[in-house]
Structure 1
Amino acid sequence: MTDTTAFDWRSFLLRWSGEWADSLPEDETRTADDEAALQARWLGFPPASEERIAAMEQRLGRRMPPSYREFLAVTDGWRHAGGFVWLLAGTESARWHDDASGLACTFEEYLDEDAEPEERREADIWRRGLQLDVESDATYVLMDPEDVDEDGEWAVYTWASWRAEPPERHAGFAAFMLDVYREFHSLRSHGGAQAPVFENDTTRALDAQVAEARIEALRGGWERALERLDEAKGYGRPRAAGLGDQIRRLLGQTSMISFDDLVTDQRYVSELLPPLVAEHAAHSYRGDSGLMFPLRGADEDVVSLAHATLDQMRGGTYRYTAAGPFGEAVDRARESARWGDTDGAWRTLIDAVPLWEPLGPDHLAPLGWLADPVLRPLLTQERGRELLSTPRGGQSGDTPAPSAGLDPGGLAWLAEPDPGNNRTSYRFVLVEGVEPEELAGRLADRDGGGEGSLLSAPMTWWEAHTAWLRGRREFTSYDDRALMAVGRAGAGWSFAFDGDPAPFDHRRLVSPAASAAVGTRAVVVWSGLREGHREPFFHLSVARDGAEQYSFTYTDGEIRSSGEIPAALDPNRFFGAQEDGAGVERSLLAAVAGEFGVRLPRHALVNGRLHTFVTRSWTRPPGDGETYAVIRVG
């Protein structure tokens, strides 16, 4: 609310003093100095003359920075600089700290050879800083004569042991005074039921700013709105933090997001509580006590809902719902996402955002979907910005340009290295004219106690793999049942994908193409051409109406083929000494995609949640004289 350029110290300090006086409880015990300040409505002292300021500078051996000199010319010291510095130094009491606290060694103990310059300043400030705190709650205020900006302002560092944080840097003395003025406002705004109502010209202006920022955010101007909300948040204005957190959460931020008091408001709990609970569920390694921290002050109904929602999160059953046309779009988006079309799901969701209606005046955007296990992977920073830039809630404004899709299309992306993923082999089945939920009936293990024929709930690959291994007691080297994720592979095709297959053995391979192709076409690909695989290989088989049409297998440097292979897929076109494995793989995958018009959804397979099932074995049983191992555990 106040700029540090051309700073009007007297007006600023008079306003602060009056607001302080009006905020004091009538029955509060006050010192004689505070009583005098109350009566005078002035927290300062008489101004320091130029002679006093010059004498101070001669005593200290340095000319003071401009904003501190200007301050002294208005008041020679200050009471109640924020909530924890009760007396701030004037010309007589400012002094070099000279490590009087003994904290220099303490901070130096934490430095290592790679310490950043700012870390070294935090240690050195105790030896060279000018101390401005005279009376405080174990809080130090030091001006650094070596940390000077182009205007000659010295940086101010504040530190209190009870905060357990590094020293806080303020750009200069005026910036420091603005910060502690905001601190005063924030503390008074949360003064409790017994304190006088804290209302004045400053709070009224800030509250109007919050209201304007809310409308601006709904019109799509989220960047300017966030700046204005953050300013009001610094003064402790109600609603500002909760509104700002909604914007930040859609930008992908999760740390320090709590939605403030809005999360315990019954009007918003269905939208704001689930994202908090989901974040807790993802990181609650040591119990659930932390769940209650952002819900302090909540009534029993909200607490009960929080625990019920947590159970749903952990059970994978939470499902976001919303009212009206936007809610209908949410259902359609989830249906697309659970079969892998995350780009289509996002377009369905974002196209319906203009139809979304807030649950109350402090609701800026739909947020509950961020807790939905199927919808949550749709969010990226770019998409979050697109949603926030979209006018909604009955407001009008410019529609943002659509964000780019996350899936490259086709199959060739499988030949590219995955960041953080060591996958060197994969296999998939493509079936034409069959819905994804039907693939389990064509490919599933029917001898695994019945469970193999059922699709799981949408899961990440790791969750599905962990669930599959849970309870298994026997593992054999000849049985190659695959855990496969399913979804749609483009117009008219479905896929089943295994990103962590067993070792490839062409001598015992039983391609599932024929069994998957009853009444239709099916394509099977199993690749191990990526760099890092010990013995490069590639298998393709295509079947129609339950019978294999053609296939080829490249392994041990040789090609084995059968049937009439189309020219576009002829392996002799791809395998040659002049091309590396990744190039061959990329070309083969592009050819398969072109021949059949298929694609696999990268984002859903790498970052999303898909249904899974367990197939029949991809290898024949061992023949006479063939050995195998069986491992039984537990």
Structure 2
Amino acid sequence: MTDTTAFGWRSFLVRWSGEWADSLRDGETRSEDDEAAWRARWLGSSPASEERIAAMEERLGRRMPPSYREFLKVSDGWRHAGGFVWLLAGTKDARWHNDESGLADMFEEYLDEEAGPEERREADVWRRGLQLDIESDITYVLLDPEDEDQDGEWAVCTWASWRAAPPERHANFLTFMREMYREFHSLQAHRSDGKPVFVNDTTRRLDALVEKARLEALRGGWERAGKALDEAKEYGRPRAAELGDQIRRLLGQTYMVYFDGLVTNPRYAPELMPLLVAEHAAHSYRDDSTLTFHLRGTDDDLVSLAYATLDRVRTGTYRYTVTGPFGEAVERARELARWGDCDGAWRTLINAMPLWEPLGPDHLAPVGWVADPVLKPLLTPERGRELLSTPRGGQVGEAPRPTAGLDPGDLAWLAEPDPGDNRTCYRFVLVESVEPLELPGRLVDGDGTVLNEPMTFWEARRKSLHNQRELSSYDDRALMAVGRAGTGWSFAFDGDPAPFDRRRFTSPAAAASEGTRAVVVWSGLRTRHGEPFFHLSVARDGVEEYAFTYAEGEIQKSGEIPPALDPSRFFGDLEDGTESERSLLEAVGGEFGVHLPRHTIVNGRLHTFATRSWTRPPSDGETYAVIRMHWGAACPADGERTEDDGPGSR
């Protein structure tokens, strides 16, 4: 609660008036009233007597709220409240607005049918409000007698059509005047009209606060630093917004984060410009006309770099690089992240934070890595707070408590419904003692298959379909993301497989296991299409050791299945498919000591490739359809396979 009655109105208004007078140039054209105010260094009027205030209240039929009443005792009106209210009413000119502007109907038209009483009451302020603006740039200032707090204070409602924003509410008149003082400061700080440099005790205090906040942030005290920078930003102080934007971006905030003043500085542009480019790429829908809006005033080289960076961001090939020991840690973290170890990558970054050095005095933290498509998924609000809490840049402070890992370290998470319940069917291959880069050689026919650049699964799916020129009803080439599945294991994962065909399915386990061991799992226990099913097969040195398939309510087994994986333990009663699925996945994970990285599979980017078909070729008498894609059209093939067709017929 603000004690508005005890506020020192006179000292506040005297300071404001003096700073306003000092901001004017000698010889500047001014109105007669402004000239008098400049000479007197006073924007107000004479104090209003208690009798005059009482007469005003009798005229209006209401006792004025405390903060406005105390203001009138110091100054009966005010000139230049901010930049757009040139004269504010005192006891003589305050009057009920009575919808003189006609805005009540307009704002009520904006309300939809579901608008509640509170919203309708807010729209009605134009009928009941006490108007304080006498002269302004089409800016309304109304005290709202029906928006009253426990101290008898009335809220202030302000609105200007040219702002293209809804009415703004201020808790009371004191809050409103403080905001107008900050607005005055902000406008003066950003002027470029040749007036005297805007320097006074207030600006010096705030600039010292910014520098203190910078050092506090480097020591890990980002919350205190952020509050101080926000205060200075409201006054338009240089550096405050740019430093605060770095904190906001690491907290996951992107709205109104532009790094103005720094992003076009050659010293900081390599770190900050890619962030704006990446945000543009995420929301531009290929309209690049606004790419350089926040780079205006920069040179052609930086503009060219921005467009080159945009191309790399869109193709997923942009890489964040930085020199020194921290840069080496970034490379190690990226290598871990691109194979799915997001927790290991994050700890690598955080452990190297004390080694990070700023590019200059306006650099608070490494933020450019968030533009790297492989590293960006590492960031969460909790991790952003951990990074900001870590001392860096040569400063000393207490290290924060590490954030919890994002990956559960098992397979059972696959049984948990995802948002929208889209992951009801999936398949994966696990190969022991093999690097992820080697998986295409085991799951693809022929040589020369390379991994795609890291991308989300849905980006990879869209790219695959775009490049596909032939679709077959019998061919099931899985698009799989690859990574590490724990100590000594690699995985290939498909989160959106084709329908399971028990009669034509061929497990890739044997081919993948040459010289090692491989495991294949295909689960559809929660599938929305057809009967639930589950398949497990394990092979060693090119030979399948054991397997089972549950489908259509039956279990088919082969080989000697370990007791922990015996399907009879899991398929007695499938009323709860989720529980059976979870138990199976826990058993598989425990048997082989493997896990899949949930955070990266769900939110991150991994290398992908297309495997050989998971179904056998059609036998004699089995029909199928092939669709070949031609430029600009999709045409069906001219035949189906029959008993007389050869193995390659279409």
TM norm. shorter chain > 0.5:
yes
Q: How does 1:116-515 map onto structure 2 within 5 Å?
A: 116-285=116-285, 287-446=287-446, 453-515=449-511
Shift of 1:324: 1.0
Contact 1:531–1:581 under 8 Å retained in 2 = no
Letter in 1 for 2:249: R
Contact 2:130–2:142 under 8 Å retained in 1 = yes
Contact 1:341–1:601 under 8 Å retained in 2 = yes
Letter in 2 for 1:268: Y
Contact 1:338–1:374 under 8 Å retained in 2 = yes
Q: TM-score, normalised by structure 2?
A: 0.95
C-alpha separation between the residues in 1 aligned to 2:573 and 2:32?
Answer: 94
What does residue 61 of structure 2 align with?
A: 61
SS, match of residue 158 in structure 2? strand
- The more displaced of 577-586 and 36-45 is 577-586
Residues 73 and 5 of structure 1: is their aligned pair in 2 closer, same or farther, counting only changes over 3 Å? closer
Contact 2:525–2:532 under 8 Å retained in 1 = yes
SS, match of residue 290 in structure 2? helix
C-alpha separation between the residues in 1 aligned to 2:40 and 2:251?
Answer: 48
C-alpha separation between the residues in 2 aligned to 1:582 and 1:119?
Answer: 45
- Deviation digits for residues 119-168 of structure 1 (CA, Å, limit 9, x no counterpart): 32331110000000000000000000011111111100110010111110
What does residue 606 of structure 1 align with?
A: 602
* Stretches of structure 2 lacking an aligned partner (at least 5 in a row): 634-650
Shift of 1:631: 2.0
C-alpha separation between the residues in 2 aligned to 1:136 and 1:193?
Answer: 22
SS, match of residue 531 in structure 2? coil
Report the number of matched residues. Answer: 629
What does residue 83 of structure 2 align with?
A: 83
- Deviation digits for residues 310-346 of structure 1 (CA, Å, limit 9, x no counterpart): 1221222210011211110000000000000011101
Query: Aligned to 2:589, which of 593, 605, 623?
Result: 593
What does residue 572 of structure 2 align with?
A: 576
Contact 1:274–1:371 under 8 Å retained in 2 = yes
C-alpha separation between the residues in 1 aligned to 2:363 and 2:233?
Answer: 16
What does residue 17 of structure 1 align with?
A: 17
Residues 179 and 116 of structure 1: is their aligned pair in 2 closer, same or farther, counting only changes over 3 Å? farther
What is the percentage of aligned positions where both structures have the same residue? Answer: 76
SS, match of residue 25 in structure 1? coil
Shift of 1:25: 2.2
Matched, 1:521 2:517: yes
What does residue 539 of structure 1 align with?
A: 535
- Deviation digits for residues 580-620 of structure 1 (CA, Å, limit 9, x no counterpart): 21111111111111110000001111110000011011111
C-alpha separation between the residues in 2 aligned to 1:423 and 1:58?
Answer: 70
C-alpha separation between the residues in 2 aligned to 1:118 and 1:509?
Answer: 62
Letter in 1 for 2:451: L
Contact 1:87–1:135 under 8 Å retained in 2 = yes
- The more displaced of 618-627 and 470-479 is 470-479
- Deviation digits for residues 512-565 of structure 1 (CA, Å, limit 9, x no counterpart): 101000000000011110153421111111000011111111111111111111
C-alpha separation between the residues in 1 aligned to 2:3 and 2:87?
Answer: 24
Shift of 1:65: 0.7
Letter in 2 for 1:171: A
Shift of 1:299: 2.7
C-alpha separation between the residues in 1 aligned to 2:545 and 2:522?
Answer: 17
Contact 1:83–1:187 under 8 Å retained in 2 = yes
C-alpha separation between the residues in 1 aligned to 2:5 and 2:432?
Answer: 69
C-alpha separation between the residues in 1 aligned to 2:116 and 2:205?
Answer: 40
CA RMSD of aligned residues (A): 1.4
C-alpha separation between the residues in 1 aligned to 2:134 and 2:83?
Answer: 14
Letter in 2 for 1:59: R
Shift of 1:114: 2.1
C-alpha separation between the residues in 2 aligned to 1:343 and 1:102?
Answer: 59
C-alpha separation between the residues in 2 aligned to 1:507 and 1:128?
Answer: 77
C-alpha separation between the residues in 2 aligned to 1:65 and 1:536?
Answer: 69
SS, match of residue 532 in structure 1? coil
Shift of 1:303: 2.0
- Deviation digits for residues 85-142 of structure 1 (CA, Å, limit 9, x no counterpart): 0000010000000000011000000112322455323311100000000000000000
Letter in 1 for 2:108: E
Letter in 2 for 1:22: D
Shift of 1:304: 2.2
C-alpha separation between the residues in 2 aligned to 1:343 and 1:99?
Answer: 60
Shift of 1:421: 4.5
- The more displaced of 304-313 and 322-331 is 304-313
* Stretches of structure 1 lacking an aligned partner (at least 5 in a row): none
- Deviation digits for residues 450-507 of structure 1 (CA, Å, limit 9, x no counterpart): 77x1100101001111111113222111111110000000000000001111111111
C-alpha separation between the residues in 2 aligned to 1:467 and 1:511?
Answer: 26
Residues 569 and 551 of structure 1: is their aligned pair in 2 closer, same or farther, counting only changes over 3 Å? same
Contact 2:133–2:140 under 8 Å retained in 1 = yes
- Deviation digits for residues 360-404 of structure 1 (CA, Å, limit 9, x no counterpart): 111110011000010000000100010011111111111111101
What does residue 639 of structure 2 align with?
A: none
Matched, 1:565 2:527: no
- The more displaced of 66-75 and 414-423 is 414-423
- The more displaced of 92-101 and 312-321 is 312-321
Contact 2:342–2:600 under 8 Å retained in 1 = yes
What does residue 100 of structure 1 align with?
A: 100
Shift of 1:632: 2.5
- The more displaced of 300-309 and 380-389 is 300-309
Shift of 1:295: 1.7
Shift of 1:445: 4.1
SS, match of residue 237 in structure 1? coil
SS, match of residue 609 in structure 2? strand
C-alpha separation between the residues in 2 aligned to 1:179 and 1:578?
Answer: 64
C-alpha separation between the residues in 2 aligned to 1:199 and 1:118?
Answer: 44
Contact 1:531–1:582 under 8 Å retained in 2 = no
- Deviation digits for residues 30-71 of structure 1 (CA, Å, limit 9, x no counterpart): 111111111111111111111110000000000001111111
C-alpha separation between the residues in 2 aligned to 1:483 and 1:203?
Answer: 60
Shift of 1:239: 0.6
Letter in 2 for 1:273: M
SS, match of residue 178 in structure 1? helix
Matched, 1:553 2:549: yes
C-alpha separation between the residues in 2 aligned to 1:44 and 1:301?
Answer: 51
Letter in 1 for 2:239: R
SS, match of residue 319 in structure 2? coil
C-alpha separation between the residues in 1 aligned to 2:445 and 2:37?
Answer: 84
Q: TM-score, normalised by structure 1?
A: 0.97
- The more displaced of 436-445 and 332-341 is 436-445
C-alpha separation between the residues in 2 aligned to 1:505 and 1:297?
Answer: 61
Shift of 1:297: 2.3
- Deviation digits for residues 166-224 of structure 1 (CA, Å, limit 9, x no counterpart): 11001100110000000000000011041210000000000001111111111111111
Shift of 1:286: 5.6
- The more displaced of 285-294 and 391-400 is 285-294
SS, match of residue 263 in structure 1? coil
SS, match of residue 36 in structure 2? helix
Letter in 2 for 1:497: F
Letter in 2 for 1:235: Y
